[in-house]
Amino acid sequence: MAEQGTFDASQPEALSDRLAALRARWLRVAALLFEQAIAEDDPGFAIPAPEVVGETLEALAQALLREPDRFAAAILDWHARFAALMNRQLARRADPKLEPLYKPEASDRRFVDAEWSEDLRFDTLKQVYLMTCAWMHELIQSVAGLDAKTRMRASFYVRLALEALAPTNYPATNPVVLRAAIESRGATLLRGLERLLEDLERNHGRLPVAPGRTDSFALGRDLATTPGAVMFRTDLAELIQYAPTTETVFARPVLIVPPWINKYYILDLRPRNSLIKYLVDAGFTVFVLSWVNPGKDLAHKTFEDYLREGPLAALDVIERITGERRSSVVGYCIGGTLTACLLAYLWAQGAGRRVASATFLTTMLDFAEPGELGVFIDERQLELLERHMAKKGYLEARWMQQVFSLLRANDLVWSFFVQRYLLGREPPPFDLLHWNADGTRMPYMMHKFYLRNCYLENRLVQPGGITLLGTPIDLGRIRTPAYFLSTREDHIAPWRSTYRGALHLKGRVRFVLAGSGHIAGVVNPPEARKYGYWTRAALPSDPEAWLKGARFRPGSWWPHWRAWLARFSGRMVAARIPGAGPVPVLEPAPGHYVRMGAEDPN
Which residues, listed in sequence order, are joined to residue 238 by a DSSP beta bridge? 233, 290
Give the residue-averaged pLDDT of 435-439: 88
> For residue 371, what is the DSSP state?
G
The confidence score (pLDDT) of residue 455 equals 96
DSSP 166: -
| Weakest-pLDDT range from 98-107, 250-259, 320-329 | 98-107
CA–CA distance, 36 with 41 (Å, rounded to integer): 9
- The arithmetic mean of pLDDT across residues 122-130, rounded, is 98
Residues 6+ apart with CB under 8 A from 486: 362, 493, 495, 498, 499, 511, 512, 513, 514
Confidence class for position 201, pLDDT limits 50, 70, 90: confident
Q: Of residues 194 and 28, which shows the higher confidence score?
A: 194
Structure confidence by residue, pLDDT tens digits, 149-178: 999 999 999 999 999 999 999 999 999 999
3-class DSSP state of 540? coil
Tens digits of per-residue pLDDT, 27-61? 877 777 777 666 655 555 678 888 899 999 999 99
- At residue 211 the predicted structure's pLDDT band, cuts being 50, 70 and 90, is confident
- Per-residue pLDDT for 319 more than 50? yes
Domain residues of the chain, as ranges?
229-374+446-595
Give me the pLDDT at residue 1, please: 37
- Are the C-beta atoms of 198 and 207 separated by less than 8 Å? no
How does residue 147 score in pLDDT terms, banded at 50, 70 and 90? very high
Average pLDDT, the chain: 92
Mean pLDDT for the stretch of residues 209-216 = 71
Angle, vertex CA 228, rays to CA 585 and CA 430, nearest 5: 140
Whether residue 291 contacts residue 440, with contact meaning beta carbons closer than 8 Å, is answered with: yes
Could you give the count of Cα atoms lying within 13 Å of 30 in the half-sphere of its Cβ? 6
Strand 248-250 vs strand 572-574: parallel, antiparallel, or unpaired? antiparallel
| Average pLDDT, integer, range 88-113 | 93
Of all residues in the chain, the percent with pLDDT exceeding 90 is 81
Q: How much is the average pLDDT of 134-151?
A: 95
528-572 per-position pLDDT tens digit: 999 999 999 999 999 999 999 999 999 999 999 999 999 999 999
Q: CA geometry: angle at 378 spanning 376 and 379, to 5°?
A: 140
* pLDDT, mean of residues 191-220: 81
At 107, the pLDDT band (50, 70, 90 cuts) reads confident
Residue 44 pLDDT: 57
More confident residue, 401 or 481: 481
Residue 33 is predicted with a pLDDT of 72
* Of the listed ranges 4-8, 237-241, 348-352, 417-421, the one predicted with least confidence: 4-8
Q: What is the CA radius of gyration of the chain?
A: 26
Which of the four CATH numbers 3.90.25.10, 3.40.50.720, 3.10.20.30, 3.40.50.1820 does domain 229-374+446-595 have? 3.40.50.1820
Inter-residue contact 408 to 363 (CB < 8 Å): no
pLDDT category of residue 4 using cuts at 50, 70 and 90: very low
Distance (Å, whole) CA 271 – CA 288: 16
Instruction: Show the 3-state SS of 464-478.
Output: CCCEECCEECCHHHC
Burial (Cβ within 10 Å: 0-12, 13-18, ≥19) of residue 290? buried
Neighbours of 563 (CB within 10 A): 10
In whole angstroms, what is the distance from residue 477 CA to residue 199 CA?
Answer: 51
pLDDT at 2 over 50: no
SS3 content of the chain, % helix, strand, coil (to 5): 50, 10, 40
- Looking at 302-364, list the stretches that DSSP marks H as alpha helix, in order from N- to C-terminal side: 303-307, 313-322, 334-348
What confidence tier does 600 reach under pLDDT thresholds 50, 70, 90? low
Give pLDDT tens digits for 417-434.
999 999 999 878 888 888
Q: Is the pLDDT of residue 3 over 50?
A: no
Percent of the chain residues topping a pLDDT of 70: 94
Which pTM value belongs to this model?
A: 0.92
Work out the pLDDT band at 12, boundaries 50, 70, 90.
Answer: low
* Predicted local distance difference test score (pLDDT) of residue 477: 97
Catalytic residue among 133, 333, 341, 454: 333
Min mean pLDDT across 44-58, 405-419, 463-477 is at 44-58
Say what the pLDDT of residue 394 is. Answer: 96
Active site residue 333: yes
Measured at the CA of 319, the angle between CA 317 and CA 323, to 5 degrees, comes to 135
| pLDDT value at residue 55 | 94
**For the chain, how far is it from start to end, CA to CA, in angstroms?**
42
Return all residues near 16 (Cβ < 8 A) that are at least 6 apart.
Answer: none
9: helix, strand or coil: coil
For residue 166, which phi and psi values (nearest 5 degrees)? Answer: -60, 140
pLDDT digits (tens, 9 = 90+) for 278-314: 999 999 999 999 999 999 999 999 999 999 999 999 9
- Helix (H), strand (E) at residue 158: helix 148-164
579 burial level (CB within 10 Å; 0-12, 13-18, 19+): middle
